[in-house]
Structure 1
Amino acid sequence: MAEKLYFVGIDSGTQGTKALIIDEKGRVLGRGKAPHQFISGLRPGESEQAPETWIKAFQESLKMALREAQTDKNFRSKNIVALGISGQQHGFVPLDKKGQVIRPAKLWNDTSTADETKIILEAVGGQRRFIDLAGLNLAVGYTASKILWLKRHEPENYRRLRTVLLPHNYLNFYLTGKKCLEYGDASGTGLMDVRRLKWQEEIIKIIDPDLVEKLPALRHPVEPVGFIKKEIADSFNLGQILVASGGGDNMMAAIGTGNVTPGIFTLSLGTSGTIYTYAPKPIVDYRGEIATFCDSTGAWLPLLCTMNVTNVTELAKRAFGYSLQKMEREARKAPPGAGGLVFLPFIDGERVPVLPLGCGVIFGLNRRTFQLPFLFRAIYEGVILNLGYGLSRLKKLCAATKEFRVTGGGSRCRLWLEIAAAVFQAPIRLLKETEAAAYGASLQAFWSYQNYQNQKISIKEITNGLVKFKEKVIEPKPEAIPCYQELLIRYNSLWPALNDEFTAHRHFQAK
């Protein structure tokens, strides 16, 4: 009887790392997690982490998952055969000629590079021209503007630059010693032609004519990176382990939610909020709001991204001294629509709508609404209304929505799901495995290993068999739909009226 094989999925996110160990039937045997540390004392708009914190969290979370898996008497760590890594997108990890990190990584939610984004877009001939070249618009959070920021603000560090990596690629490099990028995560750099699956040299040369030499080769996501270094494998009592290509967290969560065929939408409620769907060919949005990313299976992933979801509730939790559960209970005391109170959740600026200098706004306070239940309800609703703005554009570009599948830490909040069902006017399906990015990374590792062993199998075959759902489906409440339709109109009228004020406010803060 053949021994059981096991696979590891790692999700190196913004707030921390999570690890899963699964068997060939998709059953989770072990889980682990560890937090990430942020660089403190930064200016407004800046968000950075030292890549060393990702390595430490990887080690701690994997050890925790292994300890739990070992409580299964049949588990053997030496039978782990492949590992996949999901990482936060768009971060910039600069390496020198020795492969050492030059400075802390600027993260996806760092909006301090707004000027560099404008410089690149103007140099290329504007947004339309950029989209013609790259297949997507250049958002402030993308890697391209971070590279130019380093060149302009830290020229000595830039002169040391020899390799550009993204967060998940850096962890792959740590594990294998190999530098490479797969199509999915690379498509979020702003340096790639996402339709032709190659680096876009005209854009790259605007930043630096020599930059293309510092970008690793692109590869199809089914191709593995290599094997874990023996000294690292030995430290965990592991054998020879294949490292799959991995990918960005949204690409991995698409796999983990079974979003590998048209018509399925994934709603991810994490630090950021994303809605995305599978596309067999690139779908270009010339308004520049929907990103034409590649996925991590060899297809495409049209994606809406907002920058403010659980970061908002975490700040509210800290400010008022409430648990998340107590906040939700209080919010339920207010009616849908929160008495007309509108919250613009642009705490870290915003990608869609394009408001890199935006800030949070509470509008509509009066004697009735100036109390915590209404404030909390408006916070939950504002996050979803913001996603609703971008979703209307995504629906115009993509196949009809069959269903939403929800993931991310925010998916544990039932109120958020009820609001989303009503705003999106669609049912929300819950997954049995809520850690979709880590689960997707483990499934990609399974896929990569099988193909490496010449056992050709599609990712769809794997997800159809292993992605499971809870029986409960969150249906939209008919009585709430008219209220949210009206509130969404007011929401979409309010934020454009404040655009100039957002800019003035950021300049005031910088004094």
Structure 2
Amino acid sequence: MSQLYIGIDSGTQGTKAVVLDSDSGEILAEAYATHALLEDSTGLREQDPAWWIAACEQVLGEVTSKVDAASIRGIGVSGQQHGFVPLDVDGNVIRPAKLWCDTATTEQCASITEKMGGPEAVVNAIGNSVAAGFTASKVVWLKDNEPENYERLATILLPHDYINFWLTGERKTECGDASGTAYFDVAKRGWSEEVLAAMDPSGKLAECLPELIESDQPIEVVQPELARKFGLAADVLVSSGGGDNMIAAIGTGNVAPGVVTASLGTSGTIYAHADKPVIDPKGELAAFCSSAGGWLPLICTMNVTVATELTKAVLGKDTVELNALAEKAGVGAGGVMLLPYFNGERTPALPGATASLHGLTPGNYTPENLCRAAMEGATFGLKYGLDVLKRLGVNPTEIRLVGGGAKSKLWRQIVADVFGCPVVRPVVEEAGALGAAIQAVWCVQRAGGADVALADLTAQYVTMDASAGAMPVAEHVEKYADLYEKYLALDAAMRTLNA
């Protein structure tokens, strides 16, 4: 009888679930449910964790109805990083979860950093800076703005931890997702007493942290009532899970040095596996742990497909038309260059920056060049992140490309040419859900006594689409090297206005 594993990927916009057959490597079933979002002009971005659970119930109900549920052996969960889920002593959610994209906590970032002795002291203590997206500032925001709710706080969970809590009743976390809280020492792989004291000198927060486990350890079996509801066996294990980037790394086979994953989503990420901590003294790089037992140095940029989506909207074009126009323009977009800071920028740290079009003339101000400049500008932004990784000793042999932009053949070629590196694309696009299922296989097999390596499992389950690769073209690489220097010069010239 086949052994099946469920992977759940709970993101900001929705929840995806897949069922992986561990024998054949096939995805036997999948389902998706959307989430609502609470937001306002102050930068507030929140969700009720009950929405995540409702979405999980929906997708679990759908996928278990399509397969033999009794054959399911494990469940893995990937969740949006950094969100803050506050629980009281009885395990009830105190208030809506503040998300990674909530920027209403910038004042708290500055406060924590000041109490730590400045940015350099923070990096020395934990390997990361205190960014607005990270969890620490959100916890202090609760203390500063809702003291009655803070008084009730008994447990701090991250989004994937909360879904694991719902599945098992256990309050646990693992190093990968925990390393994005900004109160976790990535080198020592443990909580930072120093930052926790800066957040609240009373010592309360140390009592609110979940148990820390290793990535190859299971949380516990699924709670009996949920097992009965979905037709599962009583001994189905829930793996440690992890943050979305950490689990997507597993889902793209990025579990050994040399591979770099780049995501062309609304925002962009670029990250690699490392066998030891990779810490940036300048604080531009997120020095995360992985959910594979190692480390995951990562760069995030805020503007990738947002640039092409806005260009499509202005020109009244669809995706197919945008790609066709961009291809006609050719390398360099006729001299038009886009600095794509529509949402500000995280890397480089320019939260108040705006986008700029440069090099316009009567002859090159065309739809073709605008479309091409949107793709090239967003790719140059990711190239900046790749250069940070290279500066810290991470040298890619290939780029594994995921996200909506990776569906474009032209954009894959642009990435190969700008990065000067071969580009490949995984067959399974849902890297988060697949990675969660693979990690569940790993945890279940190791819990059963098998000495299985995660790299062997990803080699078995993660395959590349041979028809969707791209090799750098020497002539284009040379042209883009010159254009990238002009991009950096444009960025430097605009820093005074964009600071």
Q: TM-score, normalised by structure 1?
A: 0.92
**CA displacement at 1:490 relative to structure 2:** 2.4
Deviations 1:91-148 (A, max 9, x none): 1122223322223222222233222222222221122111111022222211111222
Letter in 2 for 1:415: L
Change over 3 Å in CA distance of 1:346–1:468 after alignment to 2: same
Change over 3 Å in CA distance of 1:365–1:115 after alignment to 2: farther
Letter in 2 for 1:427: P
> Which residue is equivalent to 2:27?
28
Letter in 1 for 2:155: T
CA–CA separation in structure 2 for the residues paired with 1:54 and 1:313 = 29
> Which residue is equivalent to 2:319?
324
CA–CA separation in structure 2 for the residues paired with 1:477 and 1:252 = 32
**CA displacement at 1:187 relative to structure 2:** 0.3
* Native 8 Å contact 2:389 2:395 kept in 1: no
**CA displacement at 1:312 relative to structure 2:** 4.0
Indicate the RMSD between aligned Cα atoms, in angstroms. Answer: 2.0
> Which residue is equivalent to 2:71?
79
CA–CA separation in structure 2 for the residues paired with 1:415 and 1:151 = 48
CA–CA separation in structure 2 for the residues paired with 1:219 and 1:326 = 49
Give unmatched runs, 5+ long, in structure 1. Answer: 504-511
* Native 8 Å contact 2:315 2:367 kept in 1: no
**CA displacement at 1:321 relative to structure 2:** 4.5
> Which residue is equivalent to 2:240?
245
1:202 to 179, 194, 201: 194
Letter in 2 for 1:441: A
| 1:88 maps onto 2:72 in alignment | no
> Which residue is equivalent to 1:465?
460
> Which residue is equivalent to 1:236?
230
Q: Secondary structure at the match of 2:351?
A: coil
Letter in 2 for 1:489: E
Change over 3 Å in CA distance of 1:412–1:179 after alignment to 2: same
> Which residue is equivalent to 1:54?
52
Change over 3 Å in CA distance of 1:108–1:313 after alignment to 2: farther
Deviations 1:430-473 (A, max 9, x none): 21112111111100000000011112211112112222112232
Q: Secondary structure at the match of 1:374?
A: helix
Change over 3 Å in CA distance of 1:355–1:399 after alignment to 2: closer
Q: How does 1:101-140 map to 2 (within 5 A)?
A: 101-140=93-132
Q: Secondary structure at the match of 1:336?
A: coil
Comparing 420-429 with 468-477, which one deviates more in the overlay? Answer: 468-477
Change over 3 Å in CA distance of 1:197–1:308 after alignment to 2: same
**CA displacement at 1:320 relative to structure 2:** 4.9
**CA displacement at 1:303 relative to structure 2:** 1.1
Deviations 1:334-371 (A, max 9, x none): 22222232223333332211122233333333323433
> Which residue is equivalent to 1:506?
none
> Which residue is equivalent to 1:508?
none
CA–CA separation in structure 1 for the residues paired with 2:151 and 2:350 = 32
Comparing 413-422 with 337-346, which one deviates more in the overlay? Answer: 337-346
> Which residue is equivalent to 1:176?
168
* Native 8 Å contact 1:32 1:63 kept in 2: no
Deviations 1:311-340 (A, max 9, x none): 444444455553322322232232222223
* Native 8 Å contact 2:38 2:44 kept in 1: no
| 1:224 maps onto 2:222 in alignment | no
2:396 to 383, 388, 401: 401
Q: How does 1:63-462 map to 2 (within 5 A)?
A: 63-67=61-65, 70=66, 75-209=67-201, 210-240=204-234, 241-318=236-313, 320-462=315-457
Q: Secondary structure at the match of 1:298?
A: coil
Aligned length: 494
Q: Secondary structure at the match of 2:128?
A: coil
* Native 8 Å contact 2:83 2:98 kept in 1: yes
> Which residue is equivalent to 1:482?
478
Q: TM-score, normalised by structure 2?
A: 0.94
Q: Secondary structure at the match of 2:344?
A: coil
Deviations 1:162-214 (A, max 9, x none): 22111111111111111111000000111001111111011111111321211
> Which residue is equivalent to 1:509?
none
Comparing 147-156 with 247-256, which one deviates more in the overlay? Answer: 147-156
* Native 8 Å contact 1:293 1:301 kept in 2: yes
Q: Secondary structure at the match of 2:421?
A: coil
CA–CA separation in structure 2 for the residues paired with 1:429 and 1:166 = 32
CA–CA separation in structure 2 for the residues paired with 1:344 and 1:172 = 41
Q: Secondary structure at the match of 1:333?
A: helix
Q: Secondary structure at the match of 2:74?
A: strand
CA–CA separation in structure 1 for the residues paired with 2:15 and 2:348 = 29
* Native 8 Å contact 1:255 1:443 kept in 2: yes
**CA displacement at 1:492 relative to structure 2:** 2.0
**CA displacement at 1:256 relative to structure 2:** 1.1
CA–CA separation in structure 1 for the residues paired with 2:492 and 2:71 = 56
Letter in 2 for 1:131: V
* Native 8 Å contact 1:114 1:356 kept in 2: no
Deviations 1:470-502 (A, max 9, x none): 223201122322332222222223334434534
> Which residue is equivalent to 1:6?
4
Q: Secondary structure at the match of 1:34?
A: strand
Letter in 2 for 1:306: T
CA–CA separation in structure 2 for the residues paired with 1:493 and 1:122 = 32
* Native 8 Å contact 2:5 2:75 kept in 1: yes
CA–CA separation in structure 1 for the residues paired with 2:146 and 2:362 = 51
Identity over aligned pairs, percent = 44
Give unmatched runs, 5+ long, in structure 2. Answer: none
Change over 3 Å in CA distance of 1:499–1:145 after alignment to 2: farther
4+ runs deviating over 6 angstroms: none
